[in-house]
Amino acid sequence: MAEAEQPQIYLITPPEFELSRFPQTLSQVLDTVEVACLRLSLASHDEDRVGRAADALREVAHARDVAIVIDTHFVLAERHGLDGVHLRDNGRNTRLARQELGSDAIVGAFCGTSRHDGMNAGEAGADYISFGPVGASSLGDGSIAEREVFEWWSQMIELPVVAEGALDQALIRDLAPVTDFFGIGEEIWNSENPVETLKAFEAAMAG
C-alpha cells in the first residue's frame, strides 16, 4: 500500500455475505473504481467459512492486482495466500504478526482514537495505522477519531494512515487532505448501488 497525494480507497467487505453472490458484486466494484487494498472482514469465527471466503476473494482481488488482507487471523492469511493481516487490537499483536508473516506481508493496525497506540504499532512493524470511527457510530464506546488526530499524524508521522468508520461524503471531503486511505465498507454495501456510492465517495476524495 503506497502513499499517494490523493487518498486511495481501502475497501472492506461486509461482515456477512453470500459466497455464491458477493464475489460477482466485488468484481463489478473493482472493475469500476480503483482500489488499493481489500480487507476480508467477516464476523464469522468459523475457520472453514472464512477460509472459503478468503480463497474466493483472493482470486477476484489478485486477478485485478489488488492486495487482500484479512481481519485478525494472520494464521489464515498465510494459509490462504493472502497479502497480510489487519489487527483490531490497538496494535498489541503487531510484532507477533510481523514475525509470523515476514517482512513482505502487509501488517496494519486499527488503533481507535489513540495516537500513542498508533505510534507503538508503527514501532512494532505496522505498515499502516487505522483510526476510527470518524463519524457517529453505535460501535465501540462512542469515541470519534477527530480530524486533528489525522492532521497531527500526517504532519508528524511518515507511516500511512487510514480513516474508517461511519464515513460520508462530507467527512471524506474534510479528511482528504490529511489521510492516505479511506477504509470504506458497509457505507457502500448497505446502499442500493455499491458501485455508484463508491464512485461518489471517490469524487469527494478529489475535492
Collapsed DSSP state (helix, strand, coil) of residue 139: coil
pLDDT of residue 139: 65
Give residues with Cβ within 8 angstroms of 181, minimum separation 6: 1, 7, 8, 9, 10, 36, 37, 128, 160, 161, 162, 163
What pTM was estimated for this model as a whole? 0.96
For residue 1, pLDDT beyond 60:
no
Higher pLDDT, 116 or 2: 116
C-alpha distances out from residue 200 to 43, 158, 181, 194, Å: 27, 28, 16, 10
The ranges assigned to domains in the chain are 8-205
Res. 5 pLDDT band, cuts 50 70 90: confident
Burial of 138 (0-12, 13-18, 19+ CB in 10 A): exposed
For residue 138, pLDDT beyond 90:
no
Are the C-beta atoms of residues 73 and 101 closer than 8 Å to each other? no
Q: Which CATH architecture has domain 8-205?
A: Alpha-Beta Barrel (3.20)
pLDDT of residue 3: 47
Are the C-beta atoms of residues 205 and 182 closer than 8 Å to each other? yes
Rounded CA separation 128/113 (Å): 14
For residue 96, pLDDT beyond 80:
yes
- Residue-wise pLDDT tens digits, 140-167: 678 999 999 999 999 999 999 999 999 9
Rg (CA), the chain: 16
Collapsed DSSP state (helix, strand, coil) of residue 50: helix
- Residue-wise pLDDT tens digits, 14-49: 999 999 999 999 999 999 999 999 999 999 999 999
In the predicted model, what is the mean pLDDT of residues 165-183?
98
C-alpha grid cell, residue 168: 460520508
- Residue-wise pLDDT tens digits, 45-92: 999 999 999 999 999 999 999 999 999 999 999 999 999 999 999 999
